[in-house]
Structure 1
Amino acid sequence: MASTAGYEAMRSGKVLLFYVNRDGLPLSDRCSERMWTFCMEQYPTHTNEIKALRDQKVNYPKVTYIEPPYHLATNNRLSVAEKLRQIQTYIQRLEYNYTGMQFFEINTNRPISGLMDAARHMMTEALPIKCLEAFLIAVYLTTGMIGVDRFNISFKTRFNSITYRHVVLGIRYNQIYGALGLSRRSDLAYRPLNSKYDRLSTLINDYIQAYKNYGHTVLRIKIGSPILHDLKSFLTIDWKAAVILPNKTDKEDYERELDKVSRVWRHMNLYMAYRGNVPHTSVMQPPRTLVTTASLPSRPQPTSNRSNCHQLSVTKTPMSVNDTSTAAQNYAIRV
């Protein structure tokens, strides 16, 4: 349901991170005014420049429409690495949204078909975007790349007692990993597809180190299941196939669990043709995995007292295609 104010405030505790536009496009007067006001609140030293831009009535700089690379996925003349590089270039040309008003309302529990409709809308409007919007555009443009597995890598971090969230699209091709995405910081987004990332854990550790360089503490990382190559699928994205708590887990432990998850992916059928009714047996989902310091194989595994502090923390349960995983509705990062 749309907010009566036309926008919704997204907070971390009492700290206001940004607003989400609920009135659609073009921006309503109330959303537009809230955007400009909040932008000046964010950048108080640039208030005069922001007011000048807001009040400018004529002589606007010419805006060049960015043509989306719709048919890049099926271009047989380019390597997969080059296709991914061009998609990343397109996402970066859309530019990061610094206004404090997220232009597109996104419900991550929608089926893939609905999310891909939203991605098409974003590419048509060609407005600045945030990381979740970049993620959906990357999913759309990589659909149809045979042999390419796509999955979300979602981060929850803390900086100065404020919690931030971020997401990128993980890529696997020929047992080599990479990522597509958008962030205020370049090393928290794109990772080229090259032999440097020959394990999923290597890719994840690279992001963790980048966060440490900016003073962020990584609280949690969610790894999703590979996303079907079907723009019309009624299935939802599994945002949480594995959960890593780096501060509470030995590095070797979560690396081992990530290797197990990636091995399960080899048995998944990600290139199903669109069908109105998909039988449960046609989609293999990896188990949910929670990785913490209590996941050491040699530890006792109590079976009765679930509140025991030594309770087994690697939980694996089968997941049906109808599972509606709860994911954060909006992601933000400020580093």
Structure 2
Amino acid sequence: MSVPDWLHAVQNYMRNLQYNHTGTQFFEIKKTRPLSGLMETAREMIRESLPIKCLESVILGIYLTNGLTSVERFPISFKTQFSGHHFHHVVLGVYCNGRYGTLGMSRRADLMDRALTFRTLSELVFDFEDSYRHYQHTMKKIKIGLYVPHNPHVFQPIEWNYLVINACKQGREDMRKELEKHGRDMRMKILKSSSAQSPIKERTRGKSLSPRRRPGTSPQRHQHIHRRDKSPAALDRKPSELSTLSDGYQIRI
């Protein structure tokens, strides 16, 4: 299965769980919790198969894409204002082969997933901002996190708010520059980490051969031949009983 097909299957799975309109939080998600603990919550979501909200969909999306090592995942959070009230939303950003997209859940169909078609991170974020405008929501803040590790057992929390953009005080051009810089920095970190990893040499098991030991020669025999006999008895031996080797060592005949 290709990466776009896999992401599409993950999104369809979350759609089948449906959005949680009950007002009751079925799963507790603490952003400060280690990734390994959040992955356990994702497994619980699969077992229970209950409706989920946006934050739960991010955790579930991370769990279901851990095997796609060519896909980088990072959280994207939005804070908007409508009729004097503030609203928060989060989706899972995905990056693969120079294209950006998202996975997620929302009450609105155009505030959930995006296919891997956006060339830059700013294009992806501005597309969400345009969707919010259709519902008369004003964008207040945008928060971009860092790439989430693919190892589900790491004991570290997800970085949710690495880049915070105040959309009320910045124009689109300034926002574009910050988003593009953040996207480049994340890609460079991945390149540096992959280049810094060197293959681990396997340790050779078994006995190592000494430079002076010949294969097939027992250690006892080798030690007897090359050890100079310094005992007093060796000085009393007759010359006929001693034989000098080429390297100066003597053995008894």
Distance 1:87 1:174 in 2: 19
TM-score (normalizing by structure 2): 0.74
Partner of 2:175: helix, strand, or coil?
helix
Q: What are the superposed Cα offsets for residues 83-124 of structure 1, whole Å, 9 maximum, x if unpaired?
A: 100000000000001111111111110010011111111111
Matches within 5 A, 1:210-289: 210-269=131-190
Give, in angstroms, the shift of residue 269 of structure 1. Answer: 4.3
Return the letter of the residue paired with 1:83: W
Q: What is the aligned counterpart of 1:96 among 11, 15, 19?
A: 19
Partner of 1:248: helix, strand, or coil?
coil
Tell whether 2:38 aligns with 1:120. no
Distance 2:47 2:89 in 1: 24
Give, in angstroms, the shift of residue 180 of structure 1. Answer: 0.2
Unmatched segments (≥5 aa) in structure 2:
198-253
Partner of 1:102: helix, strand, or coil?
coil
Give, in angstroms, the shift of residue 146 of structure 1. Answer: 2.0
Q: What is the aligned counterpart of 2:86 among 157, 163, 166?
A: 163
Tell whether 2:81 aligns with 1:148. no
Identify the residue that residue 107 of structure 1 maps to in structure 2. 30
Distance 1:82 1:210 in 2: 24
Q: What are the superposed Cα offsets for residues 243-288 of structure 1, whole Å, 9 maximum, x if unpaired?
A: 1122210111111111111111123349x9xxxxxxxx99xxxxxx
Identify the residue that residue 207 of structure 1 maps to in structure 2. 128
Distance 1:259 1:135 in 2: 22
Give, in angstroms, the shift of residue 232 of structure 1. Answer: 0.5
State the structure with more CA Rg: 2
What is the number of equivalent residue pairs in this alignment?
194
Distance 1:269 1:262 in 2: 11
| More helix, by proportion | 2
Distance 1:135 1:87 in 2: 11
Distance 1:141 1:234 in 2: 19
TM-score (normalizing by structure 1): 0.56
Distance 1:247 1:176 in 2: 27
Return the letter of the residue paired with 1:250: G
Q: What are the superposed Cα offsets for residues 14-58 of structure 1, whole Å, 9 maximum, x if unpaired?
A: xxxxxxxxxxxxxxxxxxxxxxxxxxxxxxxxxxxxxxxxxxxxx
Distance 1:245 1:85 in 2: 32
Matches within 5 A, 1:1-335: 78-194=1-117, 197-269=118-190
RMSD: 1.6
Partner of 1:247: helix, strand, or coil?
coil
Distance 2:26 2:73 in 1: 25
Return the letter of the residue paired with 1:147: S
Identify the residue that residue 5 of structure 1 maps to in structure 2. none
Distance 1:211 1:165 in 2: 12
Distance 2:163 2:98 in 1: 19
